[in-house]
A and B are shown apart, each in its own frame.
Chain A
């Protein structure tokens, strides 16, 4: 069974940093692109970033470009999202998902990030 488990969320002050992790199991992790998607309280879903299976290709939404960095460790079957210069508008539930076929497939349950002083 494919499983994705996010961790690392929490409360951080504006301007601070946080690193999210997504532990994957049940599939050949290194062969799948992986995405991060977020959802602000009471709002819709927003695509954040995607990384190719090898980790060589990465893409970002304009809203996070230059502040967030997606990466992966295929030896640990783990996806990461390094979030710097956090703003109040980054407050959201962050989901990871495996991403074949230009889409998202299986989703994790999400981890909550709150940016507030």
Chain B
């Protein structure tokens, strides 16, 4: 069974840039997996950031961008702010209607 992998944790300085990745335990992520990204703070519902690799959801600032880097999907946050401190999840479309979440990355801004 293929697992979607994310860094468990990451830290970034305020104003800095960070890139979170989303990979596969076996194989490479491409645009055919329609990677999407979500932000969640404790006790809140998730918020959609990016879909179809690099399309920002409505209202998402352009500090958030998505891409394919090497064999992984990537979420880059530029000019990190204190309220970017959240959990970030990716989802890959595995075909046959199936979506799979990664385990999430806890981002600390300090």
Residues of chain A at interface, number, CB under 8 A: 24
On chain A, the residues within 8 Å of B108 by CB distance are none
Q: Which of B40, B99, B100 contacts A50 (CB 8 A)?
A: B99
| Chain B residues near A107 (CB-CB < 8 A) | 45-48
Cβ of A30 under 8 Å from chain B: no
Identify the closest chain B residue to A48 (Cβ).
B99
Q: Does B65 contact A (CB under 8 A)?
A: no
Tell me whether B97 and A47 are in contact (CB under 8 A).
no
| Docked-complex contact B100 and A95, CB < 8 angstroms | no
Task: Select B91's contact among A57, A61, A95, A103, beta carbons within 8 Å.
Answer: A103
Report the bound CA distance from A37 to B103 in whole Å: 14
Within 8 Å by CB of A46, from B40, B45, B48, B101, lies B101
B50 vs chain A, min Cβ distance (A): 8
Question: Is A88 an interface residue, CB under 8 A from the partner?
Answer: no
When the two chains form their complex, are residues A45 and B47 in contact, meaning their CB atoms are under 8 A apart?
no
B99 touches A47 (CB 8 A): yes
Closest partner residue, chain A, to B35 (CB atom): A103
A86-112 interface (Cβ within 8 A of B): 95, 97, 100-110
B89 touches A47 (CB 8 A): no
Given A101-B51, A103-B91, A44 and B34 contact (CB-CB distance below 8 Å): no
CB within 8 Å of A: which B51-67 residues: 51-52, 55, 57
Known A47-B98, A102-B34; further 5 A-B contacts with Cβ < 8 A:
A37-B101, A45-B101, A47-B101, A101-B34, A104-B48
Binding site for B on A (CB under 8 A): 35, 37, 44-47, 50, 57-59, 61, 95, 97, 100-110
Residues of B within 8 A of A (CB): 34, 36, 38, 40, 45-48, 51-52, 55, 57, 87, 89, 91, 93, 96-104
A-B contact pairs, 21 of them (CB 8 A): A35-B99, A37-B46, A44-B102, A44-B103, A45-B40, A47-B99, A47-B100, A95-B46, A100-B51, A101-B55, A102-B52, A102-B99, A103-B34, A103-B91, A103-B93, A104-B38, A104-B46, A105-B51, A106-B48, A107-B48, A108-B45
The list of the 6 closest CB pairs from A to B, nearest first, reads A59-B97, A103-B36, A103-B51, A102-B34, A102-B93, A47-B99
